[in-house]
Amino acid sequence: MQDVVRGLGLILMVIGITWLLSVVIGRLVMRKGMAVWVWNRSGSIGRVLIVLGFGLAIVGLSQGASSGGGSSLMVLGALMGMAGIWLILPGP
């Protein structure tokens, strides 16, 4: 039961940090006028995030379930991969 709670806490922490970073970076980008630059390159940025994210997830899986660092890498990599997939989706 303790492992389930620890895993849930890790997932919630990563989601919270990802949300915080996205808000802070989004506000900085909008202030500096770089939103168009980022939007025009979102496909490239998304592909890089997918490769890096799922690469980290594979490294985390290869470390095994006994290490806490492996599960952290797996969760972080999966979230980066999902963000990359979101960036390459077509806009409205």
**What single DSSP character describes residue 87?**
H
| Mean pLDDT, rounded, of the chain | 75
pTM of the model: 0.57
For residues 72 and 61, what is the distance between their CA atoms, to the nearest angstrom?
10
pLDDT of residue 2: 65
Burial class (CB in 10 A: 0-12, 13-18, 19+), 56: buried
pLDDT at 65 over 70: no
Q: Where are the domains of the chain?
A: 2-88
The better pLDDT of the pair 25, 45 is held by 45
Most confident of 4-13, 36-45, 63-72, 77-86: 77-86
